[in-house]
Chains A and B, each alone.
Chain A
Amino acid sequence: MNSSVTIKRSTGKAHIKPSRVAGRTIVYILLIAACAIMLLPFIWMISSSLKAEKDVFTYPIQWIPAEARWKNYELIWEKVPLLLGFKNSAILTVCTMVLQITTSSLAAYAFAKLEFKGRNFLFLAYVTTIAIPWQVYMVPQYIMMSNWGLTDSLLGIVIMHAFTAFGVFMMRQFYMGIPNELLEAARIDGLSEYGIWARIMVPLSKPAVATLAITSFVFEWNDFMGPRIYLSSTDKMTLQLVLRLFNTQYSSNYAQMMAAATVALIPVFIMFVFLQRYFVQGVATSGLKG
């Protein structure tokens, strides 16, 4: 992308000069082109979901199916326990998300703004352990959880995912950006650290909370490895496990799988649209700095 210059030029307010109009036009053309590329997987998903299986992998790609098979969207509900998958995934996702946000945000406040012994060491330990692929400690973890009777239960997965180093790291980085002067002022006003966290940090970090929420939501909603190791009863199947049922050893039904995957995306989209405003809502930082 060599649009950087144009992009920066458009930073200004709407004083409309001819050169600016040209710049904007170029930006829009680039954006629309980028959009088209970004949307391709989505278009492919929808178009495949409306095809007969034998037409899914034809070349060149047939973007618009010759004959739309809406029947796929009916069949998926009969063929696999999709509704059950939605229910289980929803429970997992919501519980994990809430716990993650709460515990991460608390810990992040301490790491970002409080002084205590061993802070840097602990934080370093946190961050570097993010790098260990789950596959490596999955087995000892599974054996441990199995001894506690936490396998084949949604609760097991929730507590396994609820306490993340990632969330702490992310929230800490946002909290770092909040000026210390603000906290000192609050302390002078007699607010306890808990009060500062609840009344100042949390409200100020809405964009960060929204980001963590969407991260956690997308991860949990799309997680396949966790459920497939931890869950074995049919009545606990999550959405991603259900989606795999379309693939068997010798055959696969990508058409119906994509129909189900498209339906499965709807909650993620609703979530994203709902959280959108927090990503862009300017934080009222007036008078905080300088």
Chain B
Amino acid sequence: MNRRLAFVLTVVMLLSCFAVSVPAMAEGTTIRVALWDYSNTEYYKTMINGFKEANPGIDVEIIEFSAAEYSDTIVVKMAAEEDYDVIFMKGLPEMAALINGGRLMSLNELAEGYDFAPYGGTEKSLEVNGELYGLPFRKDNNLIFYNKDLFDAAGVEYPTDGMTFDEYIDLAKEMTSGEGADKVYGTHVHTWASNVYMYPRFVEEYVYNDASTWDALIPYYEAILELQEEGCIQNYGSLKSGNIHYSGVFYKQEAAMMQIGTWYINMLLENVPNEDEGIASFNWGVCSVPNNYGITTENVVGGITPVAIGAYAKHPDEAWAFLTYITGAEGAQVLARTGIVPAWAGQEVLDIFDSFHDEHPNAPEGLSKYISGSNFIVEQPMDENGKAIVAVGDEMHSAIMTGSMSIEEAIAEYKEKAIAAGASQGE
């Protein structure tokens, strides 16, 4: 190789070795906060600026990891005893694994005298053996979103709260129309396992970490496979191999209904803001998850995004101040204004959700009642083997939805695997 080039490369190499990690000394206290999607999520920045203004002595250092690999990365980082003060969690199974490994700090002492009432009991799901390990930041429950324009055009009544599951399936069939590019699917079932198990979970007949409840999935899989065979929903295999994101399906008005979490309110407000802006324009509405018990908005089923304090945190008091700020009244209102549901559910938050219709006439009125159900059913409760059992459930879902196995066969086989992974077999 060219000698001069080699020389230059060597110099560059040596220089770069000197350029590594000059520690930045900050005055006062700096807390290290680990999270995902910081760069492209405006509300984090608003909240953190607000926190810094309210707490002048505390600075915040952001450590950001990519969303898809966040859970794995945090596990490795904590195995090397990183001194993160605040750690955002993607969900409860991940959190259970870290608690079980002793990588999170119990908050019992810090939380003495703290008012938990506005969390509506969601903080209870963050307790293990009487120790509290985090505060709930967001909560997302599942709803049926529907496109009012498509229903009006077809002359069909909108879906209603408390409809039975069979009525929902029939509605999906009724709303399916057209061919080729004009095809409208009655509803959209995204590729996650939760898009099926949500229904039995809503009525508490199914929970992922108890294998004896898995049989409750059978009628739901039967109904959804029937929709798939009749072409009333898009084919699972196509969605999966085509990387089809559920949001686009609904924006492009390819489906009349869709079951998804409340975060989609935020996406709709941003992308379908009113009649003439955004990537599409239509009127939309929501209703609660269909079930055979006449339950309406009093039950909600969904996930919680907790925030925790690391076991090796250098500044636990400041970290606690951060936690209470972002999961408290101030942080909650910042979240709510974007259409994301905070776990802190004071009246201010409900008012914000009810006001969306004024700004965005295509959004429904009275959204608050869909996010404030008194009985919050946690989609995946904490379990130290949670991640493994979830993985088994996902595998079963793909086997059933692709028709690789019959429903009964798959459930029988994967129940065994779930038990091997640590699921209980009922009491």
In the assembled complex, which residues on chain B have CB atoms less than 8 Å from the CB atom of A252?
Answer: 245
B80 to A146, Cβ gap below 8 A? yes
Contact indicator A251/B76 (Cβ below 8 Å) = no
Against B, the Cβ 8 Å flags (1 = close, 0 = not) of A244-279 are: 111111111000000000000000000000000000
Q: Which residue, B40, B238, B251, has most C-beta atoms of chain A within 10 A?
A: B40
Q: SS class of chain A's interface: helix, strand, loop or mixed?
A: helix
Residues from chain A with a CB closer than 8 A to the CB of B247 are 250-251
Q: How far is the CA of A239 from the CA of B79 in the complex (A)?
A: 26
Q: At the interface with chain B, which of A22-30, A114-122, A136-144, A167-175?
A: A136-144
CB contact under 8 A between A152 and B1, given known A54-B252, A57-B244: no
**A143→B80 contact, CB < 8 A:** yes
Beyond A52-B279, A91-B12, A98-B9, whether A155 also contacts B69 by CB under 8 A is no
Q: B40 contacts A248, CB within 8 Å?
A: yes
Q: Are A94 and B76 in contact (CB under 8 A)?
A: no
Question: Do A94 and B66 touch (CB < 8 A)?
Answer: no
Looking at the assembled complex, report how far the CB atom of B37 sits from the nearest CB atom of chain A, in whole angstroms: 5
How far is A158 from B81 in the complex, measured between Cα atoms in Å? 22
CB-CB under 8 A from A139, the residues of chain B are 76, 79
Q: Which of B17, B21, B73, B263 contacts A152 (CB 8 A)?
A: B21
B25 contacts across to A, CB distance below 8 A? none
In the bound assembly, the distance between CA atoms of A229 and B334 in angstroms comes to 31
Interface hits, B270-286 → A, CB 8 Å: 279
Interface segment out of the listed B57-65, B122-130, B346-354, B400-408: B57-65
> Is B13's beta carbon under 8 Å from chain A?
yes
CB pair A234 B64 closer than 8 Å = yes
Contact: B16 with A98, CB < 8 Å?
no
Judge whether B69 and A228 touch: CB under 8 Å.
Answer: yes
Chain B residues with Cβ below 8 Å from A154 are 16, 19-20
Nearest B residue to A91 via CB reads B16
For residue B374, CB closer than 8 A to chain A, the reply is: no
Q: Which of B81, B82, B279 contacts A54 (CB 8 A)?
A: B279
For the complex, give the distance between the alpha carbons of A244 and B357 in Å. Answer: 34
Tell whether B242 is near chain A: CB-to-CB under 8 Å. Answer: yes
Min Cβ gap B101→A in Å is: 12
Interface residues of B in 41-92 (CB under 8 A from A): 41, 62-69, 73, 76-77, 79-82, 90
Residue B13 contacts which of A54, A95, A143, A250 (CB distance < 8 angstroms)?
Answer: A95
User: By the criterion CB–CB under 8 Å, are B66 and A151 in contact?
Assistant: no
Select one of B10, B39, B238 contacting A245, CB under 8 A. Answer: B39
Smallest beta-carbon distance A70→chain B, Å: 19
- In the complex, whether B6 has a CB less than 8 A from a CB of chain A is yes
Residues of B within 8 A of A108 (CB): none
- A237 and chain B: residue at smallest CB distance: B64
> Does B248 have its Cβ within 8 Å of any Cβ on chain A?
yes
Report the Cα distance A115→B414, complex, angstroms.
56
A202 shortest CB reach to chain B, Å: 8
Verify if B267 is at the interface (C-beta below 8 Å from A). Answer: yes
A252 to B82, CA, bound (A): 29
Q: Does A45 contact B (CB under 8 A)?
A: no
Interface size on A (CB < 8 Å)? 42
Chain B residues with CB under 8 A of A80: 39
A248-B67, A249-B36 known; A143-B12 Cβ under 8 A: no
B66 x A244 contact (CB < 8 A): yes
In the assembled complex, the CB of B189 is this many whole angstroms from the nearest CB of chain A, namely 17
Please determine whether B76 and A138 come into contact, CB atoms closer than 8 angstroms: yes
* The residue from A149, A151, A155 contacting B16, defined by CB atoms under 8 A apart: A155
Report whether A98 and B245 are in contact in the complex, using a CB–CB cutoff of 8 Å.
no
For residue B414, give the distance in angstroms from its CB to the closest CB of chain A: 25
Contact between B267 and A250 (Cβ–Cβ < 8 Å)? yes
Interface residues of A in 215-260 (CB under 8 A from B): 228-229, 232-234, 241, 244-252
A249 in contact with B79 (CB, 8 Å): no
Tell me the bound Cα distance from A156 to B80 in angstroms: 15
- B37, B39, B77, B244 — most chain A CB neighbours (10 Å): B39
**In the complex, which residues of chain B have a beta carbon less than 8 angstroms from the beta carbon of A142?**
76, 79-80
- Name B32's closest neighbour in chain A (CB-CB): A232
Q: What CA separation (Å) do A245 and B36 show in the bound complex?
A: 9
Assess A228 versus B66: contact at CB under 8 Å? Given A54-B248, A95-B16, A251-B245.
yes
Q: Do B65 and A232 have beta carbons less than 8 Å apart?
A: yes
Q: Is A103 an interface residue (CB 8 A)?
A: no
Residues of B within 8 A of A248 (CB): 36-37, 40-41, 67
C-alpha gap A54/B248 in the complex (Å): 6
> A57 and B37: CB pair below 8 A?
no
A65→B67 CA distance, assembly (Å)? 29
Q: Chain B contacts of A99 at CB under 8 A?
A: 13
When distances are taken between beta carbons in the complex, the residues of chain A under 8 Å from B41 are 248
Give Cα A250 to B246, complex, Å. Answer: 10
Chain A residues lying within 8 Å of B279, measured Cβ to Cβ, are: 52, 54
What residues of chain A lie closer than 8 Å to B10, measured between beta carbons? 98
Name the B residues within 8 Å of A153 (CB-CB): 20-21
Interchain CB contact under 8 A, B248 and A57: yes
Q: How far is the CB of A283 from chain B (nearest CB, A)?
A: 15
Question: With A80-B39, A155-B20, A209-B1 known to touch, is A249 a contact of B245 (CB < 8 Å)?
Answer: no
Within 8 A of A (CB), among B148-163: none
Note all chain A residues with C-beta closer than 8 A to B90: 249
0 or 1 for each of A127-168: is its CB under 8 Å from B? (1 = yes)? 000000000001100110010010111111010000000000
Within 8 A of B (CB), among A49-64: 52, 54, 57, 59
The minimal Cβ–Cβ distance linking B68 to chain A, given in whole angstroms, is 7
Nearest CB of B to A11, in Å? 31
Please indicate the chain A residues that have their CB under 8 angstroms from the CB of B40 in the complex: 79, 245-246, 248
A152 vs B34: C-alpha distance in the bound complex, in angstroms? 14
Q: A143-B80, A232-B65 are in contact. List 7 more A-B contacts (CB 8 A).
A: A94-B9, A99-B13, A139-B76, A146-B81, A232-B64, A244-B66, A248-B67
B interface, CB within 8 angstroms of A: 1, 6, 9-10, 12-13, 16-17, 19-21, 34, 36-37, 39-41, 62-69, 73, 76-77, 79-82, 90, 238, 242-245, 247-248, 251-252, 263, 267, 279
Task: Name 29 interchain pairs, CB-CB below 8 A, sorted by A.
Answer: A54-B251, A54-B279, A59-B238, A91-B12, A94-B9, A138-B76, A143-B80, A146-B81, A146-B82, A149-B21, A151-B80, A153-B21, A154-B16, A154-B19, A154-B20, A155-B16, A158-B17, A206-B1, A228-B73, A232-B65, A245-B39, A246-B40, A247-B66, A247-B67, A248-B37, A249-B36, A249-B67, A250-B263, A252-B245
Closest 6 CB pairs of A and B: A244-B66, A146-B80, A153-B20, A95-B13, A249-B67, A155-B20
